[in-house]
Amino acid sequence: MANNTDPSSSSSGASTEQNPLDESQGESAGLPAKSSVEIPSRIEPYALSRAAANDSRIVRNWAPLGTVDAGAIADCDPAGLVQMRNETWCLDWWIGAEDRWHHPSIDAAVRQRRIGDSPVLETAMRVPGGDIIQRVFGVRATSAVSDGSLWDDSAVIVEIENLTAVPVALALTIRPYLLDGIGSITSLGSAGSVISVDGAVAAVLSKSVARRVVGELGTVATRLANADDEQPDGTSTSAASCLEGAFVVALPHTAVVRILLPRSTRNEASSRSKKSSAQKPAPTAQWDAPDAGAIDAGWAAHTKQAARVELPDSTFDRVVARSESLLLLAATDEFFAASGTATAALRAAELCDTLVRVGLTEPLGPIARALLGQQRLRGSIRMPDRSDATVALLHVSAPLLAGKQQELWAEDLVGPVAQAIHRLSKGHGVASPSLLRSAVIALGRVAPSLRAVGQPEVADAAEELASSLWESVGLSAAARPSEGSDSAKRWMFAEGLSARSALAASDSSAITSIVELCRIGDQAVLPDCTDAQDLACGAMALDPAAVAVRVGAILDLALIEEPTGLVILPVWSDSWFGSPVEAHGLRTRWGVASFALRWHGERPALLWEVIPGSGVDPTGSGPQFTAPGLDPSWSATGWTGEALLAPMGPVVVASQPEAASSTDDQTGPAQSAPETAANPQVEAPREGDSFT
């Protein structure tokens, strides 16, 4: 934990620091004096400043920030502008370099990246002499309060680092904007390192404010450029609620200034955690919070047990890893929303299916309670668009009934799950082919969980219904979802669902569709809708259901679950010949499945393992495996095994020639093939013999 109190600064009273805007120091300190560069009268956020070049249409492009326990509490746009959710203001960062003031929202030399696979964003802005780096992320922070108590809550940390060779001035600007529109600020005050908006603590700096400029919206940037600043402490008000303030500190070479933005308490119901939503005192100048490196490591630990894939195109691997962190953070955002022609029930089912499949259990409890809150007397789970989310309830119930708190969840879920199974048996709750297929998978997964909590009769009913519905689904893919009459719009959820349907039918054209889908956004965030230029054009900057269905499509490239067994690599691309493939930790009705593909010349070699789940009989024969993309004639049954499949033709890697084999290519857990030229020992994956 980093202590963020600057010993040279005071938390109250006038600062003893040199004024970063003092013209007499400007040349020696590398800071701007009065600027001769024309400053726009109003510097708008990224989305608004680019609307003029986009037919006045606002492009909603930002990423969520937050913690696992509190969920998403803020959003950050591509220029590093941060808006705390439920607040009517945002935090911007302006840099006074030796030539002029630089504003990320309108400067061209700004780029952003994600650190690792976590929701930690790094924005860099080029100024004379090098880059100024901003990092922003959600944390759990603490602060010592004057009465001896401790403030402990979720917050956002903003770090600004000077990588240039000279000092610069940093103006942390509180602005009456939302990310995509006008907000409001009635009062704006500062005392030492604490900045308040409308009477509530909005930001706490790691050092005291040196100077400030506060005024009506549109006046601050010009005054700042003209060095028309004022004393650091004080409070200003505006009847028009359009106040804006720039709070300036010096940022020497290699120095880092940290800013704490406490979670908004305007709407306590937005928090997942009762602990984090309790009334607490405000943070003070004495506060502690982890740094960006620790947060990235923490997210990696949270997703360590989640599913992962290693496909020939590494883009797929990154999209899955980054999307898992994003879904862990913001899966419940827009949960009840419909999008395009997709109903809220279908979107909820796909989201819950992916969360269960990759093993992200944290969001499932809140989702289950939200769905139970929508259940009607006759058992339907009524979404706002009047669609029935019964299938989504079955998806989330499977891991909850088999988890560590299964006894607690059994009291809440067994009755509603039994009612849901009865509704599906009457033909309710499956209004589309895609939802019907999802229902079959959900029924198959929830059956072992019901046995684990002592409900064998309900489990038998679920399995019988799954078999019956599977006959209706057949082996063909569900119909392609309609994308509406507006051909200029692409609905991301519909495209992901269409790709999944194509993969279920072993249509290799789905690979191209998934590749195109992975090129949109930052390999984690996906909007609900894009235009012909792949720019967001819908109401949602982040559509968790679209993110989930894209992950589901990528996982389907590796492994598809069916009532009759598991399908490894349902399709194959000629460009993948000779490339190794791995998939680890995919949750199925039989348990946690993993496999690896290696090559022996022209022949693919498969190794697989399934760890039986709760309620699954480990003495059974195990699931049946097929691999139609590699060898349509091959199949095998067993919890673990290995097999050498038929030759596929020329490969792109060099290998030793093999003698023709006259023996059966398949080896399983009950067979042990001698290592000969005709039947070589299959190479184990890098992790060793165990896939977990």
pLDDT at 680: 42
Q: Within 10 A of 687 (CB to CB), how many other CB atoms are there? A: 12
**676 φ/ψ angles, rounded to the nearest 5 degrees:** -130, 170
- 615-652 b/e with 16+ CB inside 10 Å = b? bbeeeeebbebbbbbbbeebebebbbbbbbbebbeebe
Q: Express each pLDDT in 4-27 by its tens digit.
A: 654 444 333 333 444 444 433 433
* pLDDT of 211 strictly over 60: yes
| d(C-alpha 468, C-alpha 462), whole Å | 10
Interval 276-296 mean pLDDT: 84
Interval 264-274 mean pLDDT: 58
| d(C-alpha 220, C-alpha 226), whole Å | 10
Interval 438-463 mean pLDDT: 96
pLDDT at 339: 87
Interval 311-328 mean pLDDT: 97
| d(C-alpha 532, C-alpha 500), whole Å | 22
Token pair for 145: 């309060």
| d(C-alpha 179, C-alpha 75), whole Å | 8
Q: Are 356 and 398 in contact (CB under 8 A)?
A: yes
Token pair for 575: 């460009």
Please give, one letter per residue, the 3-state secondary structure of 607-638. Answer: EEEEEECCCCCCCCCCCEEEECCCEEEEEEEC
Strand partners, 251: 168
pLDDT band with cut points at 50, 70 and 90 for residue 268:
low
Three-state DSSP state, 159: strand
Q: Are 92 and 185 in contact (CB under 8 A)?
A: no
Domain boundaries of the chain, sorted by first residue: 2-262+272-296, 304-550, 564-667
Token pair for 480: 């392609």
Three-state DSSP state, 104: coil
Higher pLDDT, 40 or 31: 40
Q: Are 315 and 523 in contact (CB under 8 A)?
A: yes
Q: Express each pLDDT in 520-549 by its tens digit.
A: 988 899 999 998 888 888 899 999 999 999
Q: Express each pLDDT in 640-665 by its tens digit.
A: 999 999 998 754 444 444 433 333 44
pLDDT at 51: 76
| d(C-alpha 484, C-alpha 142), whole Å | 49
Q: Which helix (DSSP H) or strand (DSSP E) does residue 643 occupy?
A: strand 640-644
* pLDDT of 271 strictly over 50: no
pLDDT at 453: 95
* pLDDT of 274 strictly over 90: no
pLDDT at 532: 85
* pLDDT of 574 strictly over 70: yes
Token pair for 558: 């590796």
Q: Are strands 624-627 and 565-568 parallel, antiparallel or unpaired?
A: parallel
As a whole number of angstroms, the longest Cα–Cα distance in the chain is 90
pLDDT at 617: 95
Q: Express each pLDDT in 213-226 by its tens digit.
A: 999 999 999 999 99
CA dist 119 → 139, 140, 469, 686 (Å): 11, 14, 40, 28
pLDDT at 484: 44
Which residue in this structure is represented by tokens 């060793």?
688
Higher pLDDT, 96 or 276: 96
pLDDT at 265: 83
pLDDT at 4: 64
The closest of 148, 67, 114 to 525, measured between CA atoms, is 114
Token pair for 336: 């009840």
Q: Express each pLDDT in 389-425 by its tens digit.
A: 999 999 999 999 999 999 999 999 999 999 999 999 9
Q: Express each pLDDT in 105-144 by its tens digit.
A: 999 999 999 999 999 999 999 999 999 999 999 999 999 9
For helices 390-402 and 344-358, the axis angle rounded to 10 degrees is 20
Three-state DSSP state, 94: strand
Q: Express each pLDDT in 590-610 by its tens digit.
A: 999 999 999 999 999 999 999
| d(C-alpha 345, C-alpha 390), whole Å | 8
* pLDDT of 3 strictly over 80: no
Interval 309-318 mean pLDDT: 96
CATH no., domain 2-262+272-296: 2.70.98
| d(C-alpha 614, C-alpha 630), whole Å | 31
Strand partners, 131: 126
Q: Express each pLDDT in 457-466 by its tens digit.
A: 999 999 999 9
* pLDDT of 323 strictly over 80: yes
Three-state DSSP state, 232: coil
pLDDT at 479: 44
pLDDT at 431: 84
CA dist 323 → 308, 351, 577 (Å): 11, 12, 27
pLDDT at 465: 96
Interval 66-94 mean pLDDT: 96
Interval 612-626 mean pLDDT: 95
* pLDDT of 671 strictly over 80: no
Q: Within 10 A of 400 (CB to CB), how many other CB atoms are there? A: 24
615 CB contacts (<8 Å, ≥6 apart)? 402, 447, 448, 449, 450, 451, 452, 459
pLDDT band with cut points at 50, 70 and 90 for residue 489:
confident
Which residue in this structure is represented by tokens 């790709």?
499
Strand partners, 287: 143
